[in-house]
Chain A
Amino acid sequence: MNGLLKFSTKRSNWAIPYFIFLLIFVVLPLVLIVVYAFKDNSGNFSLQNFVKFVSQPEAINTFIYSIGVALITTMLCILFGYPAAYILSNRSLNRSQITVVLFILPMWINILVRTLATVALFDFMRIPLGEGALIFGMVYNFLPFMIYPIYNTMQKMDYSLIEAAEDLGAKPSKVFWKVVMPLSMPGVMSGIMMVFMPTISTFAIAELLTMNNVKLFGTTIQENINNGMWNYGAALSLIMLIIIGATSLFSDSSEAASDNEGGLI
């Protein structure tokens, strides 16, 4: 009894319940994806799921198409989001805190409600749903996730560096390219993570925005799982996981995580 008390009062042991929780609900499920991916329907070890993926042009086409959509969405988000974040964080261009709140607000509304609203807008304007609607809807959904991290890093930026560059005679464009741009890169990187990853794995949004005419990789995975093809679905998930792992190697993943530290409020 005394030993148990001593064990429970040592504070480094307090993480043990959570550690066990993580093993059951994070590690084991991921292991299961790998296990299912390398099994055939009768439960024997096999590579048939991966062979199926490589030999079916449809699956690969969807895969490449999804990466393309995710890339375009991410680039459009940078294109529209970067200037917005710059203006929002610049005290001589924008003083009002309200505009900042208005840009962050959509992040707090259910993603399906937002998508539903986009579909409604297109219906209202008599614009047919399809590829264009898909890209617009994605940018609409994920733009705040690009603006927020860039805005955050720009706000923490040391303004004396910019002033120093100006004092030393750099032209405004040079100040931007040589000082502001490099300093804001960490924000852009975590913005890319926050936009690219969800867009590449999205499924329902694409379905709603294109009336199920355009298929993304996430939709393919979901269909397989729903139709009881768990092994093939798991193999496709594993492929997606590898792609995303590769993406996060490009940007420092711990940075993306620590950006969330203060919460999104």
Chain B
Amino acid sequence: MIKKIIAQSYLWLLLLMLYAPILIIAIFSFTEAKVLGNWTGFSTNLYTSLFSGGVRHSLIAAIENTFTIALLAATVSTALGSIAAIGIFNMRGRKRQTITFLNNIPMLNPDIITGISLFLLFVSLGITQGYTTVVLAHIAFCTPYVVLSVMPRLRQMNPNIYEAALDLGATPFQALRKVIIPEIRPGMISGFILSFTLSIDDFAVTIFTIGNEGLETLSTYIYADARKGGLTPELRPLSTIIFATVLLLLLIINIRAKRNSKKLINKQTE
């Protein structure tokens, strides 16, 4: 019992340390002071000025960019990676080893190396850097994760059902749509979610591929802001909103997963 109390207090102490910075930000998002740490009374002005007024354009535009880039990159990565996974799964021998090895490179490479290497690529090919290059770069480092999340699903699939569909007269593309995709869908979904979050989270690759034509994502915005010295006060409510959203989403996903597994257990015992 004492052991459990000590263990639990260790966990919560560590959590307190981990969350202290975010809590400070959340608390001071409800006051107007320009400098963080000055409490000038409760106010929700920062929240309203985030969505209206002068700051709105740059910060909200940066968030819009972050999300559309993530959405595009995750969608293309999921399509490209799923089809590639089916291909790799049906390959044998050295060919399969080669492509699996290449697929691992972006995951093992540090972000800064990926960023610089892609920067050199775009520069050498004379491609102007901007929105498109950022999306391409994000696809490059997200797709391997999609391949990795779809693979186990293919391994679990009964290989005969695809052949059966063909024998029963389905074209290969019908068989893909009606047989393979439904089987690998959970892997595709977790690959998509993973790509989406990786893209939103990225800074190092983005900063090297974004060019200098005024395009900003949330990461590059914060970076530029912090370099200039003072941080835009509106970043406080924004961080708070992001944090609350992620917390809520993760809790919902987890509670649902728990409920589903309980249902499964109930079914099995019935």
Contact = CB atoms under 8 A, between A and B. Distances in A.
B239 A113 contact: yes
B117 A29 contact: yes
A68 interface: no
Contact of B24 (A83, A109, A110, A124): A124
B111 A198 contact: yes
Given A87-B10, A112-B219, A120-B24, A14 B119 contact: no
Given A14-B84, A200-B110, A105 B223 contact: no
B178 to A, nearest CB: 15
B253 to A, nearest CB: 7
Nearest to B88: A15
A101 B250 contact: yes
A250 interface: no
B84 A18 contact: yes
A213 interface: no
A174 to B, nearest CB: 17
Given A14-B84, A106-B18, A257-B104, A25 B140 contact: yes
- Which has the most chain A C-beta neighbours within 10 Å: B7, B18, B137? B18
Nearest to B106: A26
A114 B21 CA distance: 8
A262 B112 contact: no
A33 B151 CA distance: 31
Contacts of A40: none
A92 interface: yes
B72 to A, nearest CB: 15
Given A16-B87, A109-B243, A230-B120, A21 B143 contact: yes
A257 B107 contact: yes
Contacts of A170: none
Interface in A165-214: 197-198, 200-204, 207-208
A26 B148 contact: no
Interface stretch (B42-50, B51-59, B201-209, B262-270): B201-209
Interface residues of B, number: 96
A108 B87 contact: no
Given A204-B223, A264-B194, A21 B121 contact: no
A36 interface: yes
Contacts of A116: 25, 222, 226, 231, 235, 239
A80 interface: yes
Nearest to A193: B108
A261 interface: yes
Given A88-B11, A256-B108, A32 B120 contact: yes
A118 B239 CA distance: 12
Nearest to A124: B37
Interface string A113-154: 110111111011000000000000000100110000000000
Contacts of A159: none
Count class of interface residues, chain A? 35 or more
Contacts, number: 261
Nearest to B255: A97
Contact of B112 (A103, A110, A221): A221
Contacts of B61: none
B160 interface: no
A123 B36 contact: yes
Contacts of B84: 14-15, 17-19
B14 interface: yes
Contacts of B145: 260, 263
Nearest to B200: A110
A254 B104 CA distance: 8
B119 A225 contact: yes
A55 interface: no
B246 A109 contact: yes
Interface string A79-115: 0100110011010111001110111111011111110
B103 interface: yes
B8 A121 contact: no
A64 interface: no
A117 B22 contact: yes
B191 interface: yes
A108 B200 CA distance: 9
B179 interface: no
Nearest to A212: B227
A25 B77 CA distance: 13
Nearest to B112: A201
9 contacts: A26-B105, A104-B250, A108-B250, A117-B24, A120-B28, A123-B37, A222-B112, A230-B123, A262-B190
Given A113-B243, A222-B207, A257-B107, 15 more contacts: A14-B84, A15-B84, A27-B105, A33-B116, A110-B218, A111-B201, A112-B223, A114-B21, A120-B21, A120-B28, A143-B18, A198-B110, A204-B207, A265-B190, A265-B253
